[in-house]
Amino acid sequence: MKVITADLHVHTCLSPCATLDMTPRKIIRRARENGLAMIAVTDHNSAENASAMTAAARSSGLCIIPGMEIATSEEVHLLGLFPAVEHAVSMQTLVYQNLQPGQNDEDLFGIQVITNEFEEVEGFNTRLLIGATELRIDEAVSAIHARDGLAIAAHVDRQSFSVLSQLGFISEDMTFDALEISKRLTLKEARITYRQYERFPFITSSDAHDLNEIGVSPTHLRLSSPGFTGLRMALAGEGGSCVIEDNASLAHGGPVTPHIGPG
Protein backbone atom coordinates (compact mmCIF):
# COMPACT_ATOMS: atom_id res chain seq x y z
CA MET A 1 0.00 0.00 0.00
CA LYS A 2 1.12 3.55 -0.73
CA VAL A 3 -0.39 7.00 -0.28
CA ILE A 4 -0.90 8.85 -3.55
CA THR A 5 -2.25 12.30 -4.39
CA ALA A 6 -5.02 12.67 -6.97
CA ASP A 7 -7.07 15.42 -8.58
CA LEU A 8 -10.25 13.77 -9.87
CA HIS A 9 -11.89 16.78 -11.55
CA VAL A 10 -9.79 18.43 -14.28
CA HIS A 11 -11.07 20.07 -17.46
CA THR A 12 -9.25 20.45 -20.78
CA CYS A 13 -9.55 23.01 -23.57
CA LEU A 14 -12.59 21.04 -24.75
CA SER A 15 -14.65 22.56 -21.95
CA PRO A 16 -15.95 25.96 -23.11
CA CYS A 17 -15.14 27.61 -19.78
CA ALA A 18 -11.54 26.33 -19.66
CA THR A 19 -8.53 28.28 -20.87
CA LEU A 20 -6.95 27.31 -24.17
CA ASP A 21 -3.68 26.31 -22.52
CA MET A 22 -5.41 23.34 -20.87
CA THR A 23 -3.87 20.98 -23.40
CA PRO A 24 -2.73 17.40 -22.66
CA ARG A 25 1.01 17.91 -22.28
CA LYS A 26 0.66 21.15 -20.31
CA ILE A 27 -1.87 19.58 -17.95
CA ILE A 28 0.34 16.53 -17.43
CA ARG A 29 3.44 18.66 -16.84
CA ARG A 30 1.68 20.81 -14.24
CA ALA A 31 0.14 17.79 -12.54
CA ARG A 32 3.55 16.16 -12.14
CA GLU A 33 5.10 19.42 -10.93
CA ASN A 34 2.44 19.52 -8.23
CA GLY A 35 3.12 15.96 -7.09
CA LEU A 36 -0.01 14.33 -8.47
CA ALA A 37 0.04 10.62 -9.28
CA MET A 38 -3.44 10.46 -10.79
CA ILE A 39 -5.92 12.84 -12.41
CA ALA A 40 -9.37 12.41 -13.94
CA VAL A 41 -10.25 14.17 -17.20
CA THR A 42 -13.78 15.50 -16.75
CA ASP A 43 -14.87 17.85 -19.53
CA HIS A 44 -18.43 19.12 -19.68
CA ASN A 45 -20.72 16.51 -21.27
CA SER A 46 -17.93 15.10 -23.45
CA ALA A 47 -14.96 12.74 -23.37
CA GLU A 48 -13.44 13.67 -26.73
CA ASN A 49 -10.07 14.68 -25.25
CA ALA A 50 -9.77 11.66 -22.95
CA SER A 51 -7.93 9.57 -25.54
CA ALA A 52 -5.39 12.34 -26.21
CA MET A 53 -4.80 12.79 -22.48
CA THR A 54 -4.27 9.06 -21.99
CA ALA A 55 -1.85 8.83 -24.90
CA ALA A 56 0.12 11.91 -23.86
CA ALA A 57 0.59 10.56 -20.34
CA ARG A 58 1.96 7.12 -21.30
CA SER A 59 5.58 7.80 -20.34
CA SER A 60 4.92 10.53 -17.79
CA GLY A 61 4.26 8.44 -14.70
CA LEU A 62 0.86 10.11 -14.35
CA CYS A 63 -2.26 7.92 -14.31
CA ILE A 64 -5.21 9.29 -16.30
CA ILE A 65 -8.79 8.33 -15.42
CA PRO A 66 -11.11 9.05 -18.39
CA GLY A 67 -14.41 10.64 -17.50
CA MET A 68 -16.74 13.59 -17.94
CA GLU A 69 -18.80 16.06 -15.95
CA ILE A 70 -22.43 15.44 -16.84
CA ALA A 71 -25.13 18.07 -16.31
CA THR A 72 -28.39 16.29 -15.52
CA SER A 73 -31.88 17.55 -16.33
CA GLU A 74 -32.06 18.93 -12.78
CA GLU A 75 -28.87 20.93 -13.58
CA VAL A 76 -26.92 18.83 -11.12
CA HIS A 77 -23.28 18.25 -12.06
CA LEU A 78 -22.19 14.64 -11.81
CA LEU A 79 -18.73 13.17 -12.40
CA GLY A 80 -18.59 9.91 -14.31
CA LEU A 81 -15.19 8.19 -14.04
CA PHE A 82 -14.46 5.09 -16.11
CA PRO A 83 -11.94 2.23 -16.30
CA ALA A 84 -11.08 2.91 -19.96
CA VAL A 85 -11.63 5.47 -22.69
CA GLU A 86 -14.05 3.11 -24.44
CA HIS A 87 -16.39 3.19 -21.45
CA ALA A 88 -16.26 6.98 -21.35
CA VAL A 89 -16.99 7.19 -25.08
CA SER A 90 -19.97 4.89 -24.64
CA MET A 91 -21.30 7.24 -21.97
CA GLN A 92 -20.59 10.17 -24.27
CA THR A 93 -22.83 8.64 -26.94
CA LEU A 94 -25.72 8.55 -24.48
CA VAL A 95 -25.01 12.10 -23.30
CA TYR A 96 -24.88 13.43 -26.87
CA GLN A 97 -28.25 11.82 -27.57
CA ASN A 98 -29.68 13.76 -24.63
CA LEU A 99 -27.97 17.15 -25.04
CA GLN A 100 -30.03 20.28 -25.47
CA PRO A 101 -30.47 21.19 -29.15
CA GLY A 102 -28.46 24.04 -30.62
CA GLN A 103 -24.82 24.87 -31.17
CA ASN A 104 -22.16 26.35 -28.95
CA ASP A 105 -21.87 30.14 -29.04
CA GLU A 106 -18.09 30.62 -28.98
CA ASP A 107 -18.35 34.34 -28.25
CA LEU A 108 -20.59 33.68 -25.25
CA PHE A 109 -19.29 30.40 -23.82
CA GLY A 110 -15.83 29.89 -25.34
CA ILE A 111 -14.14 27.61 -27.88
CA GLN A 112 -14.42 23.83 -27.47
CA VAL A 113 -11.11 22.46 -28.78
CA ILE A 114 -10.52 18.82 -29.67
CA THR A 115 -6.79 18.13 -29.51
CA ASN A 116 -4.44 15.21 -30.00
CA GLU A 117 -1.61 14.04 -27.75
CA PHE A 118 0.88 16.29 -29.58
CA GLU A 119 -1.00 19.56 -28.79
CA GLU A 120 -2.33 19.76 -32.34
CA VAL A 121 -5.90 20.94 -32.93
CA GLU A 122 -8.00 18.13 -34.40
CA GLY A 123 -11.22 20.13 -34.60
CA PHE A 124 -13.86 22.02 -32.66
CA ASN A 125 -16.88 20.56 -30.91
CA THR A 126 -19.92 22.63 -31.91
CA ARG A 127 -22.40 20.96 -29.53
CA LEU A 128 -23.88 22.91 -26.63
CA LEU A 129 -21.67 21.21 -24.05
CA ILE A 130 -22.26 23.87 -21.40
CA GLY A 131 -25.98 23.04 -21.19
CA ALA A 132 -27.93 20.46 -19.25
CA THR A 133 -28.90 17.10 -20.68
CA GLU A 134 -32.30 15.42 -20.53
CA LEU A 135 -30.90 12.67 -18.29
CA ARG A 136 -32.27 12.63 -14.76
CA ILE A 137 -29.82 12.04 -11.90
CA ASP A 138 -30.96 8.46 -11.40
CA GLU A 139 -30.70 7.76 -15.14
CA ALA A 140 -27.20 9.21 -15.36
CA VAL A 141 -25.96 7.32 -12.30
CA SER A 142 -27.43 4.05 -13.61
CA ALA A 143 -25.82 4.61 -17.02
CA ILE A 144 -22.42 5.28 -15.43
CA HIS A 145 -22.67 2.13 -13.32
CA ALA A 146 -23.81 0.10 -16.35
CA ARG A 147 -20.50 1.05 -17.96
CA ASP A 148 -18.50 -0.06 -14.90
CA GLY A 149 -17.95 3.57 -13.89
CA LEU A 150 -17.97 5.56 -10.68
CA ALA A 151 -20.65 8.21 -10.15
CA ILE A 152 -19.57 11.13 -7.95
CA ALA A 153 -21.81 14.05 -7.00
CA ALA A 154 -19.74 17.12 -7.93
CA HIS A 155 -18.93 20.06 -5.62
CA VAL A 156 -21.86 19.40 -3.27
CA ASP A 157 -20.94 22.44 -1.15
CA ARG A 158 -21.44 24.91 -4.00
CA GLN A 159 -24.51 27.14 -4.25
CA SER A 160 -25.15 26.18 -7.85
CA PHE A 161 -25.06 23.06 -10.04
CA SER A 162 -24.78 20.67 -7.11
CA VAL A 163 -27.22 18.05 -5.89
CA LEU A 164 -27.78 20.00 -2.67
CA SER A 165 -28.22 23.39 -4.33
CA GLN A 166 -30.68 21.99 -6.87
CA LEU A 167 -32.61 19.44 -4.80
CA GLY A 168 -31.81 20.41 -1.21
CA PHE A 169 -31.03 16.86 -0.08
CA ILE A 170 -29.58 13.50 -1.07
CA SER A 171 -32.21 10.79 -0.86
CA GLU A 172 -31.54 7.31 0.47
CA ASP A 173 -31.92 5.78 -3.00
CA MET A 174 -29.18 7.87 -4.61
CA THR A 175 -26.28 5.49 -5.21
CA PHE A 176 -23.35 7.87 -5.55
CA ASP A 177 -19.92 6.32 -5.13
CA ALA A 178 -18.65 9.49 -3.45
CA LEU A 179 -19.44 13.13 -2.77
CA GLU A 180 -17.00 15.75 -4.00
CA ILE A 181 -16.17 18.80 -1.89
CA SER A 182 -14.72 21.92 -3.53
CA LYS A 183 -11.61 23.76 -2.37
CA ARG A 184 -13.83 25.92 -0.15
CA LEU A 185 -13.82 23.23 2.59
CA THR A 186 -11.45 20.63 3.93
CA LEU A 187 -12.72 17.07 4.13
CA LYS A 188 -12.63 17.33 7.92
CA GLU A 189 -14.85 20.42 7.80
CA ALA A 190 -17.14 18.75 5.27
CA ARG A 191 -17.69 15.78 7.59
CA ILE A 192 -19.02 18.20 10.21
CA THR A 193 -21.10 20.26 7.78
CA TYR A 194 -22.60 17.25 6.03
CA ARG A 195 -22.67 14.75 8.87
CA GLN A 196 -26.03 13.40 7.67
CA TYR A 197 -24.24 11.93 4.64
CA GLU A 198 -21.67 9.92 6.56
CA ARG A 199 -22.52 6.83 4.51
CA PHE A 200 -20.63 8.29 1.54
CA PRO A 201 -16.89 8.66 1.06
CA PHE A 202 -15.85 12.28 0.45
CA ILE A 203 -13.22 13.47 -1.98
CA THR A 204 -11.95 16.96 -2.76
CA SER A 205 -10.89 18.19 -6.20
CA SER A 206 -9.74 21.33 -7.97
CA ASP A 207 -12.37 21.47 -10.75
CA ALA A 208 -9.45 22.99 -12.67
CA HIS A 209 -10.23 25.12 -15.70
CA ASP A 210 -6.77 26.72 -15.72
CA LEU A 211 -3.25 25.33 -15.30
CA ASN A 212 -2.73 27.21 -12.04
CA GLU A 213 -5.72 25.44 -10.48
CA ILE A 214 -4.52 21.86 -11.05
CA GLY A 215 -3.91 20.09 -7.75
CA VAL A 216 -4.97 22.98 -5.51
CA SER A 217 -7.37 20.77 -3.54
CA PRO A 218 -6.21 17.16 -3.99
CA THR A 219 -7.47 13.93 -2.49
CA HIS A 220 -5.05 11.55 -0.77
CA LEU A 221 -5.68 7.86 -1.28
CA ARG A 222 -4.12 4.78 0.25
CA LEU A 223 -4.01 2.08 -2.42
CA SER A 224 -1.74 -0.48 -3.97
CA SER A 225 -1.10 1.49 -7.16
CA PRO A 226 -2.66 4.41 -9.07
CA GLY A 227 -5.44 3.35 -11.41
CA PHE A 228 -9.16 2.90 -11.72
CA THR A 229 -9.29 -0.39 -9.81
CA GLY A 230 -7.35 1.09 -6.92
CA LEU A 231 -9.59 4.16 -6.92
CA ARG A 232 -12.72 2.03 -6.83
CA MET A 233 -11.34 0.02 -3.91
CA ALA A 234 -10.32 3.17 -2.04
CA LEU A 235 -13.79 4.70 -2.36
CA ALA A 236 -15.35 1.43 -1.18
CA GLY A 237 -12.80 1.01 1.63
CA GLU A 238 -11.85 -2.45 0.38
CA GLY A 239 -8.65 -4.44 0.88
CA GLY A 240 -6.99 -1.85 3.09
CA SER A 241 -7.49 0.89 0.50
CA CYS A 242 -9.18 4.11 1.60
CA VAL A 243 -9.61 7.84 1.19
CA ILE A 244 -7.45 9.70 3.71
CA GLU A 245 -9.54 12.55 5.06
CA ASP A 246 -7.24 14.08 7.69
CA ASN A 247 -4.79 15.90 5.43
CA ALA A 248 -3.33 17.88 8.33
CA SER A 249 -2.12 14.69 10.00
CA LEU A 250 -0.83 13.46 6.66
CA ALA A 251 1.21 16.64 6.09
CA HIS A 252 2.86 16.30 9.50
CA GLY A 253 3.56 12.62 9.18
CA GLY A 254 1.11 11.68 11.92
CA PRO A 255 -1.65 9.09 11.94
CA VAL A 256 -4.18 9.44 9.14
CA THR A 257 -7.96 9.29 9.33
CA PRO A 258 -9.38 6.98 6.66
CA HIS A 259 -12.92 6.61 5.49
CA ILE A 260 -13.80 2.93 5.63
CA GLY A 261 -16.26 2.79 2.78
CA PRO A 262 -19.98 3.46 2.59
CA GLY A 263 -22.47 2.08 5.05
* DSSP character string of 150-168: EEEE--TTSSSSSHHHHHS
pTM to 2 decimal places: 0.93
In a domain? residue 234: no
In a domain? residue 33: yes
Question: Other CB atoms closer than 10 Å to residue 174's CB: what's the count?
Answer: 16
Number of domains the chain contains: 1
In a domain? residue 227: no
Which residue segment(s) compose the domain that 75 sits in?
2-221
* DSSP character string of 28-95: HHHHHHTT-SEEEEEEET--TTHHHHHHHTTTTT-EEEEEEEEE-TT--EEEEE-SSHHHHHHHHHHH
pLDDT for the residue 246: 77
pLDDT for the residue 176: 98
In a domain? residue 32: yes
pLDDT for the residue 247: 56
pLDDT for the residue 254: 40
What is the CATH classification number for the domain harbouring 125? Answer: 3.20.20.140
In a domain? residue 263: no
In a domain? residue 43: yes
pLDDT for the residue 234: 97
* End-to-end C-alpha distance for the chain, whole angstroms: 23
**Which residue in 10, 68, 17, 1 sits closest to 219, CA to CA?**
10
In a domain? residue 109: yes
Considering only the C-alpha atoms of the chain, give the largest distance between any 2 of them, rounded to a whole number of Å. Answer: 53
Side chain identity at residue 159, one-letter code: Q
Residues 192, 231: Cα–Cα separation, whole Å:
24
**Average pLDDT per block of 10 residues along the chain, 263 residues long:** 96 97 98 98 98 97 98 98 98 97 94 96 97 97 98 97 97 97 93 96 97 97 95 96 75 44 41
Helix (H, G, I), strand (E, B) or coil at 140: helix
Helix (H, G, I), strand (E, B) or coil at 102: coil
Residues 136, 143: Cα–Cα separation, whole Å:
11
Residue partners of 51: CB distance under 8 A and separation at least 6: 66, 85
In angstroms, what is the C-alpha Rg of the chain? 17
Q: Give the distance, in angstroms, between the CA of residue 195 and the centroid of all CA atoms in the same chain.
A: 22
In a domain? residue 241: no
Side chain identity at residue 227, one-letter code: G
Residues 73, 3: Cα–Cα separation, whole Å:
37
